[in-house]
Structures are given as C-alpha cells and as structure tokens.
Amino acid sequence: MIDSKVHRLGFYEEAVGDLHNIREADGYILASIGPVIVVLPLELGAKLRPLIGSRIGILRTEQDYRSRIISGSKASNTAKSTLMDVIRCQA
C-alpha cells in the first residue's frame, strides 16, 4: 500500500532535488527526490535508477513526464539544467 505521505505531481508540477532512492510499490515507483517522496509511473524506474545520487527535475505534463539533470553549485547560483529525456507513459 502506498503511504499517504507521498506526493503525486499535478500537471506542470515539477519535483526538483537530489534523487536519493527509488522503490516499487503497488505498481508504481516511489522516488525520494529531495525531502519529498513522489509517486511516479512504473515505466520511469529504468530511466531514473542510473540517476540515483544526481540532482534532477521531473516535470509532469498532460502527455508525459520530462526529466532533467541539474548540475552546478547551489552556493554560487551557477546551476545549469540539461533536458535529459522525454519519458513516454500515461500521465
């Protein structure tokens, strides 16, 4: 059963932070991104697993999820974002 403390992204909502962990539960992926646990479609697991330890962003659109890797120093405000992939799955 999925815990009530997880967050499901709304349309055009983005989760940004360090990807700490990914696990499967009830046919979904639970991704620890920053201080939040986000519930995502199962299809995202294979794309996100290699990114554990990276600072990422996951954006939910009306058609799919989009991911990006965020690199740079938080302290110097020189963070750069690279659009990594469009992940096709039901939103």
pLDDT digits (tens, 9 = 90+) for 8-20: 999 999 999 999 9
Helix and strand tally (H, E) in the chain?
1, 7
Q: How many distinct structural domains can be found in the chain?
A: 1
Measured at the alpha carbon of residue 13, what is the angle toward residues 27 and 26, in degrees to the nearest 5? 10
* This prediction's pTM: 0.76
- Residue 62 lies in domain: 7-87
1 domain residue, yes or no:
no
Taking phi over 0 as left and psi of -120 to 50 as alpha, with beta for the rest, 63 belongs to: alpha
Task: Provide, for the chain, the percentages of residues in helix, strand and coil under a 3-state DSSP scheme, each rounded to the nearest 5.
Answer: 10, 50, 35
pLDDT given for residue 5 in this prediction: 81
2 domain residue, yes or no:
no
What residue ranges of the chain have pLDDT lower than 70? 1-4, 72-91
77 domain residue, yes or no:
yes
CA distance 75 to 29: 31
